[in-house]
Amino acid sequence: MALLKLTSAGLGAGLVLLASTASAQPQKGFVLDRFDPSERGSEWFVLDSLDLRGHLRPAAGVVGTWAYDPLVVYDGEGKYVSSLVEHQVFVHPGASLVLWNRVRAALSMPIALYQSGEPIVIGTKSYSPPSSAAGDLRIAADVRLFGKHGGAITGALGAALHLPTGSRDDYTSDGYVRVLPRASIAGDIGIFTYSARLGWHYRALTETFERNPLGSEITFGAAAGVRVANRKLVVGPEVHGSSILDSRSFLERRGTPVEALLGAHYTVSDFRFGAGMGTGLTRGWGTPSLRAFLSAEWTPGWSEDTDGDGIPDAEDACPSVTGERTNDPKTNGCPPKTATIPPSSDRDGDGIADAVDACPDAAGVKSDEPKKNGCPPDRDGDGIGDLVDACPDAPGPKSDDPKRNGCPPDRDGDGILDDKDACPDTAGPASTDPDRNGCPPDRDDDGVYDDEDACPDAPGPAAPDPKHNGCPLARIEDGQIKIVDQVKFKSSSAEIMRDSDTTLLAIATTLKDHPEITTIRVEGHTDNTGSAGANRRLSQQRAEAVVKWLTSYGLDRRRFDAKGYGSTRPIDSNATEDGRQNNRRVEFHIAKGGEAKPAQERPAKKR
């Protein structure tokens, strides 16, 4: 008979088992699934963000999980044999209710929608794979002891009671009541958020499962992540686990199942959605090799009501003193004018009692407007006190940069405010022209900025080729009429191709616009393919063909001098196809008038 080893998630538990027997007795299971989701309203999957704000504030939702190979059979050499539990699909519908801004009561019901595996026989014991079944109903309560949600640290004590509504045959229950007292902390520091928990899991089931003890455990967990997307998205890892309080198994791999998860929660209005994946880190029972999970919750938001008058601070003109609801936003939530305000302290020492001081911890000035009474001066009314407002006379949003705090937006940082910046996302100098104010320089006004314009003084269209971007088809530059596209001829011929008409028309138009140019030397050039004599004749014929085209457009023939140089004046190497293509060209040199430059002999490049 083959020796077998029973373990979890492909991780050895050190049990030597026998493959078959004629008198095998059916065995019962225990709570196998180690995924115990947080109460509804948390922004973690297992840990708790401790949002215990509000009174009669509900939350409800469902978490779905899939686990692969939480209980696996290996042989004595550690080779895979079969999976007693291969797939588990659970849903955890649940709800919670926050009371008195401090207490939370919650329910959660695990339901195994699908479980599969292979039956095995080990010595005189047989194990059947689980099927669909309900789990143990969880009833929980937590009490906030200190801190406030969103602060650096919040602490709470709580406990969960698991009623034996599940089935041992389907590995969803121990068959006894289970109790889990716990202590939790959570907090936010800037964009960073965290949570941690330590607890004791009382389990009345003290049997052994193939020489591995079952019983009470120490539980633990931690999570850390970031809040992004305007604090609506929380992303980060979680690690949770437990260790059996048994001298042989405590902190040993087989008695210490630990899982690592990576998840994200996104809040949209009053709804929150989550997704993530995880894996087992140790060889404890129920630790899968892979886990995936999704969640959807209804989690109504909460507005603070500091003075407890039933009017949220966002609507309360006197958020720190009890008042009455009115239709006037300036008096809504404030005491009636005839009411006598009891004496109170003046923490900031500004002479305005805390009861009517809108900023009781920051010295300010008296104001007839309740929301500003006792607050530091804010001339531009942007909610940022003048002492820390970099632009106290121009309203703007809050910023972590002291030099930009309270200043109007300037996205490109060029010193020109966005509402006056014609190019708010591209830095540029100030200009008296509203259409150019704050835009990068564009000397030829062709819409292509000078730092990207290959021809910054000659207007032309934008082009994907950086060498031609912003260049006209023809332009006068350095004693030449330079062109973007070369004049094209049929192969080994002086016949001009039709798609060069646009280029030649641009040259002709330039010459008509500049009558001061009296002589143009049209130069024909070839690569070094073929004989030197043939190349010189072809280049001469091509130069004359170009002159003929231009004179047919109405230009005086006496303004042109056609000259063929063959391959004697290369501008690139003839060793490559690209180089030879560059050498096959027609150039237009200004010989007289305009910016004429004398013809110079150019040394030939290496071939």
Q: What's the pLDDT tens digit per position in 552-580?
A: 999 999 999 999 999 999 999 999 999 99
pLDDT at 543 over 50: yes
Residues 513, 517, 518: CA angle, nearest 5 degrees: 125
* 98 touches 41 (CB < 8 A): yes
Largest distance between two CA atoms of the chain: 118
Domains in the chain, start-ordered, CATH in brackets?
3-298 (2.40.160.40), 474-592 (3.30.1330.60)
What are the structure tokens assigned to 293, written together? Answer: 């999970």
Which is higher by pLDDT, 287 or 78? Answer: 287
pLDDT of residue 245: 86
pLDDT of residue 521: 96
- Under the banding of pLDDT at 50, 70 and 90, the label for residue 2 is very low
* 324 touches 296 (CB < 8 A): no
Partner residues linked to 179 by β-bridges: 161, 202
pLDDT at 125 over 60: yes
Instruction: Tell me the C-alpha distance between 224 and 491, whole Å.
Output: 70
Residues 227, 228, 232: CA angle, nearest 5 degrees: 80
**First-to-final CA distance of the chain:** 82
Partner residues linked to 96 by β-bridges: 59, 106
pTM over 0.75: no
H/E stretch holding 460 = none
Q: What is the DSSP string of 41-87?
A: T-SSSSS------SSSEEEEEEEEEEEEEEEEEEETTS-EEEEEEEE
H/E stretch holding 532 = helix 532-552
pLDDT of residue 18: 39
Could you read off the pLDDT of 452-482 as tens digits, one per residue?
877 887 787 887 878 778 788 889 988 999 9
- In this structure, what are the phi and psi dihedrals at residue 278, rounded to the nearest 5 degrees? -160, 175
H/E stretch holding 581 = helix 577-583
What are the structure tokens assigned to 143, written together? Answer: 């009490």
Residue at 175: amino acid letter: G
- How many C-beta atoms lie closer than 10 Å to residue 23's C-beta? 9
What are the structure tokens assigned to 571, written together? Answer: 């501008």
Residues 58, 59, 61: CA angle, nearest 5 degrees: 150
Q: How many residues are recorded in the chain?
A: 607
Could you read off the pLDDT of 409-456 as tens digits, one per residue?
887 777 788 888 788 888 878 888 888 887 888 777 777 887 887 788
What are the structure tokens assigned to 276, written together? Answer: 């993530």
Evaluate the CA torsion angle 356, 361, 365, 371 in order and state its sign. Answer: negative
- Under the banding of pLDDT at 50, 70 and 90, the label for residue 144 is very high
* 456 touches 471 (CB < 8 A): no
pLDDT of residue 261: 96
What is the three-state SS of 467-498?
Answer: CCCCCCCEEEECCEEEECCCCCECCCCCCECH
Residue at 33: amino acid letter: D
Between 532-552 and 501-513, two packed helices, what is the crossing angle to 10 degrees?
60
Instruction: Tell me the C-alpha distance between 192 and 197, whole Å.
Output: 18
pLDDT at 596 over 80: no
pLDDT at 252 over 80: no
Closest CA to 10 of 81, 66, 59: 81
- Per DSSP, 365 falls in state B
pLDDT of residue 75: 62
* 334 touches 370 (CB < 8 A): yes
Could you read off the pLDDT of 323-342 as tens digits, one per residue?
888 888 888 889 887 545 55
Q: How far is CA 594 from CA 17, 273, 513, 522, 587, in A?
A: 102, 72, 11, 16, 16
Q: Give the position of tokens 């039956």.
A: 119
* 574 touches 528 (CB < 8 A): yes
Q: What share of the chain is helix, strand, coil (3-state, %, to 5)?
A: 10, 35, 55
